[in-house]
Amino acid sequence: MSFTRARAPLWHQYRVKGEPMQRVSQVRDLGVVFTPELTFREHINKICRKAYRNLGFVLRQTQGFTNITTLRVLYDTLVRSHLEHSAVIWAPHEAKYSVMLERVQNKFTRHLYFKLYGVYPFYPLMYPTLFVLGMVGYNELRVRRDFALVAYVVKLLRGVAHNPGVLRHLQLCVPDRYVWKRRRPPLLAAPAARNNLLARAPLTRAMRVVNEVHERVDVLCCNST
Protein backbone atom coordinates (compact mmCIF):
# COMPACT_ATOMS: atom_id res chain seq x y z
CA MET A 1 0.00 0.00 0.00
CA SER A 2 1.25 3.46 -0.91
CA PHE A 3 0.17 6.59 0.96
CA THR A 4 -0.84 9.35 -1.44
CA ARG A 5 -3.68 11.73 -2.20
CA ALA A 6 -2.85 12.18 -5.86
CA ARG A 7 -5.74 11.71 -8.26
CA ALA A 8 -3.58 9.68 -10.64
CA PRO A 9 -0.86 8.05 -8.53
CA LEU A 10 2.02 6.19 -10.10
CA TRP A 11 1.99 2.60 -8.90
CA HIS A 12 5.16 0.51 -8.92
CA GLN A 13 5.05 -3.27 -8.95
CA TYR A 14 7.19 -4.50 -6.07
CA ARG A 15 8.57 -8.02 -6.12
CA VAL A 16 9.99 -10.32 -3.46
CA LYS A 17 12.14 -13.17 -4.81
CA GLY A 18 10.63 -12.57 -8.21
CA GLU A 19 7.03 -12.86 -6.97
CA PRO A 20 4.83 -9.74 -7.31
CA MET A 21 3.49 -8.34 -4.04
CA GLN A 22 -0.24 -7.90 -3.71
CA ARG A 23 -1.36 -4.29 -3.31
CA VAL A 24 -4.02 -3.69 -0.64
CA SER A 25 -6.36 -0.76 -0.04
CA GLN A 26 -6.13 -0.77 3.77
CA VAL A 27 -3.89 -2.09 6.52
CA ARG A 28 -4.68 -2.64 10.19
CA ASP A 29 -1.79 -1.90 12.52
CA LEU A 30 -2.18 -2.11 16.31
CA GLY A 31 -5.95 -1.86 15.96
CA VAL A 32 -5.94 1.22 13.69
CA VAL A 33 -7.04 0.96 10.05
CA PHE A 34 -4.80 2.89 7.67
CA THR A 35 -5.87 3.80 4.13
CA PRO A 36 -3.82 5.37 1.31
CA GLU A 37 -5.41 8.80 1.98
CA LEU A 38 -4.60 8.72 5.73
CA THR A 39 -8.05 10.08 6.59
CA PHE A 40 -9.03 7.34 9.11
CA ARG A 41 -12.65 7.57 7.95
CA GLU A 42 -12.84 3.83 7.38
CA HIS A 43 -11.41 3.22 10.84
CA ILE A 44 -14.02 5.44 12.49
CA ASN A 45 -16.82 3.71 10.58
CA LYS A 46 -15.57 0.31 11.71
CA ILE A 47 -15.19 1.17 15.37
CA CYS A 48 -18.64 2.80 15.41
CA ARG A 49 -20.22 -0.36 13.99
CA LYS A 50 -18.38 -2.53 16.50
CA ALA A 51 -19.25 -0.19 19.38
CA TYR A 52 -22.94 -0.25 18.42
CA ARG A 53 -22.91 -4.06 18.37
CA ASN A 54 -21.28 -4.23 21.78
CA LEU A 55 -23.58 -1.56 23.17
CA GLY A 56 -26.63 -3.46 21.96
CA PHE A 57 -25.32 -6.57 23.69
CA VAL A 58 -24.75 -4.65 26.94
CA LEU A 59 -28.21 -3.06 26.91
CA ARG A 60 -29.95 -6.37 26.19
CA GLN A 61 -28.09 -8.35 28.83
CA THR A 62 -28.44 -5.71 31.56
CA GLN A 63 -32.14 -4.92 31.33
CA GLY A 64 -32.75 -6.26 34.82
CA PHE A 65 -29.58 -4.81 36.37
CA THR A 66 -29.96 -2.27 39.16
CA ASN A 67 -26.27 -1.80 40.01
CA ILE A 68 -25.18 1.36 38.18
CA THR A 69 -21.50 0.67 38.78
CA THR A 70 -21.78 -2.60 36.88
CA LEU A 71 -23.38 -0.82 33.93
CA ARG A 72 -20.59 1.74 33.85
CA VAL A 73 -17.88 -0.92 33.98
CA LEU A 74 -19.47 -2.91 31.15
CA TYR A 75 -19.82 0.17 28.96
CA ASP A 76 -16.31 1.44 29.67
CA THR A 77 -14.81 -1.99 29.01
CA LEU A 78 -16.80 -3.25 26.03
CA VAL A 79 -17.83 -0.05 24.25
CA ARG A 80 -15.88 3.07 25.13
CA SER A 81 -12.55 1.27 24.97
CA HIS A 82 -13.10 0.76 21.22
CA LEU A 83 -14.05 4.41 20.73
CA GLU A 84 -10.85 5.64 22.39
CA HIS A 85 -8.19 3.10 21.46
CA SER A 86 -5.22 4.97 19.91
CA ALA A 87 -7.40 8.07 19.51
CA VAL A 88 -4.25 10.21 19.64
CA ILE A 89 -3.58 9.04 16.07
CA TRP A 90 -7.01 8.99 14.43
CA ALA A 91 -8.96 11.69 16.33
CA PRO A 92 -11.33 13.20 13.72
CA HIS A 93 -11.28 16.86 12.77
CA GLU A 94 -14.50 16.65 10.74
CA ALA A 95 -17.69 17.31 12.68
CA LYS A 96 -19.50 14.47 10.88
CA TYR A 97 -17.27 11.76 12.31
CA SER A 98 -17.05 13.37 15.72
CA VAL A 99 -20.86 13.29 15.92
CA MET A 100 -20.85 9.62 14.88
CA LEU A 101 -18.70 8.77 17.87
CA GLU A 102 -20.72 10.89 20.28
CA ARG A 103 -23.98 9.24 19.23
CA VAL A 104 -22.78 5.88 20.51
CA GLN A 105 -22.11 7.28 23.97
CA ASN A 106 -25.27 9.38 23.97
CA LYS A 107 -27.34 6.25 23.49
CA PHE A 108 -25.81 4.71 26.60
CA THR A 109 -26.01 7.87 28.72
CA ARG A 110 -29.72 8.24 27.98
CA HIS A 111 -30.23 4.63 29.07
CA LEU A 112 -28.16 5.27 32.20
CA TYR A 113 -30.16 8.43 32.95
CA PHE A 114 -33.35 6.37 32.80
CA LYS A 115 -31.85 3.81 35.21
CA LEU A 116 -30.85 6.55 37.65
CA TYR A 117 -33.88 8.84 37.60
CA GLY A 118 -36.69 6.72 36.15
CA VAL A 119 -37.34 9.18 33.30
CA TYR A 120 -36.10 8.67 29.76
CA PRO A 121 -34.68 11.92 28.33
CA PHE A 122 -36.54 12.53 25.09
CA TYR A 123 -33.52 14.01 23.29
CA PRO A 124 -33.42 16.70 22.00
CA LEU A 125 -36.88 17.98 22.93
CA MET A 126 -36.51 17.96 26.71
CA TYR A 127 -32.94 17.36 27.87
CA PRO A 128 -29.83 18.58 26.04
CA THR A 129 -26.97 16.16 25.59
CA LEU A 130 -24.60 18.08 27.87
CA PHE A 131 -27.21 18.08 30.62
CA VAL A 132 -27.63 14.31 30.41
CA LEU A 133 -23.86 13.79 30.36
CA GLY A 134 -23.43 15.93 33.46
CA MET A 135 -26.21 14.19 35.35
CA VAL A 136 -24.72 10.74 34.77
CA GLY A 137 -21.11 11.83 35.30
CA TYR A 138 -19.64 11.49 31.80
CA ASN A 139 -17.69 13.82 29.54
CA GLU A 140 -17.89 14.16 25.79
CA LEU A 141 -15.58 11.82 23.91
CA ARG A 142 -14.07 14.87 22.21
CA VAL A 143 -12.97 16.22 25.60
CA ARG A 144 -11.42 12.89 26.51
CA ARG A 145 -9.54 12.75 23.20
CA ASP A 146 -8.16 16.24 23.76
CA PHE A 147 -7.09 15.28 27.26
CA ALA A 148 -5.33 12.19 25.91
CA LEU A 149 -3.44 14.39 23.43
CA VAL A 150 -2.35 16.83 26.13
CA ALA A 151 -1.38 14.04 28.53
CA TYR A 152 0.78 12.33 25.90
CA VAL A 153 2.61 15.53 24.94
CA VAL A 154 3.20 16.42 28.60
CA LYS A 155 4.61 12.95 29.27
CA LEU A 156 7.03 13.44 26.39
CA LEU A 157 8.15 16.82 27.74
CA ARG A 158 8.60 15.41 31.25
CA GLY A 159 10.52 12.39 30.00
CA VAL A 160 7.92 9.91 31.23
CA ALA A 161 7.21 8.65 27.70
CA HIS A 162 9.97 7.89 25.21
CA ASN A 163 9.43 8.85 21.58
CA PRO A 164 12.39 10.74 20.07
CA GLY A 165 10.72 10.94 16.66
CA VAL A 166 7.89 13.06 18.08
CA LEU A 167 9.89 14.85 20.76
CA ARG A 168 12.27 16.41 18.24
CA HIS A 169 9.33 18.23 16.64
CA LEU A 170 8.20 19.81 19.94
CA GLN A 171 9.72 23.27 20.22
CA LEU A 172 9.16 25.40 23.32
CA CYS A 173 8.06 28.97 22.70
CA VAL A 174 10.42 31.43 24.43
CA PRO A 175 9.00 34.99 24.12
CA ASP A 176 10.69 38.20 25.12
CA ARG A 177 9.74 40.14 28.25
CA TYR A 178 7.48 42.54 26.36
CA VAL A 179 5.23 39.77 25.09
CA TRP A 180 5.15 38.11 28.52
CA LYS A 181 3.86 41.31 30.17
CA ARG A 182 1.03 41.67 27.66
CA ARG A 183 -0.30 38.13 27.61
CA ARG A 184 0.59 34.59 28.52
CA PRO A 185 2.59 33.15 25.61
CA PRO A 186 1.91 29.70 24.17
CA LEU A 187 3.89 26.79 25.52
CA LEU A 188 4.78 25.20 22.18
CA ALA A 189 5.66 26.77 18.85
CA ALA A 190 3.14 25.19 16.51
CA PRO A 191 4.27 25.07 12.86
CA ALA A 192 2.59 27.34 10.35
CA ALA A 193 0.46 25.00 8.26
CA ARG A 194 0.57 25.67 4.54
CA ASN A 195 -2.20 23.18 3.79
CA ASN A 196 -5.06 21.39 5.53
CA LEU A 197 -3.11 18.13 5.70
CA LEU A 198 -0.48 19.65 7.99
CA ALA A 199 -3.00 21.71 9.96
CA ARG A 200 -5.00 18.58 10.81
CA ALA A 201 -2.04 16.28 11.44
CA PRO A 202 -2.05 14.61 14.89
CA LEU A 203 1.13 16.34 16.06
CA THR A 204 0.03 19.80 14.92
CA ARG A 205 -3.37 19.30 16.51
CA ALA A 206 -1.73 18.11 19.73
CA MET A 207 0.43 21.23 19.99
CA ARG A 208 -2.57 23.45 19.32
CA VAL A 209 -4.63 21.74 22.02
CA VAL A 210 -1.75 21.97 24.51
CA ASN A 211 -1.48 25.72 23.90
CA GLU A 212 -5.23 26.16 24.39
CA VAL A 213 -5.16 24.29 27.70
CA HIS A 214 -1.97 26.05 28.82
CA GLU A 215 -3.80 29.39 28.66
CA ARG A 216 -5.91 28.26 31.64
CA VAL A 217 -3.65 25.88 33.58
CA ASP A 218 0.04 25.11 33.76
CA VAL A 219 0.17 21.72 32.06
CA LEU A 220 3.76 21.10 33.15
CA CYS A 221 2.94 21.38 36.86
CA CYS A 222 -0.49 19.76 37.09
CA ASN A 223 -1.05 16.02 37.35
CA SER A 224 -2.00 14.58 33.94
CA THR A 225 -2.83 11.04 35.07
**Beta carbons within 8 Å of 23's beta carbon, 6+ residues apart:** 1, 2, 11
Indicate the residue type of 175: P
Q: What is the largest CA-CA distance in the chain?
A: 68
Q: Would you tell me the crossing angle of helices 129-136 and 95-117 to the nearest 10 degrees?
A: 50
For 92-143, the pLDDT digits (tens) are 988 899 999 999 999 999 999 999 988 887 755 578 889 999 999 999 999 9
* C-alpha of 109 from chain center: 19
pLDDT in tens, 182-213: 567 788 888 777 777 777 788 888 888 888 88
Is the pTM value of this prediction over 0.85? Answer: no
**Alpha carbons 207 and 118: distance in angstroms, whole number:** 43
User: What is the DSSP annotation of 75-94?
Assistant: HIIIIIHHHHTTHHHH---S
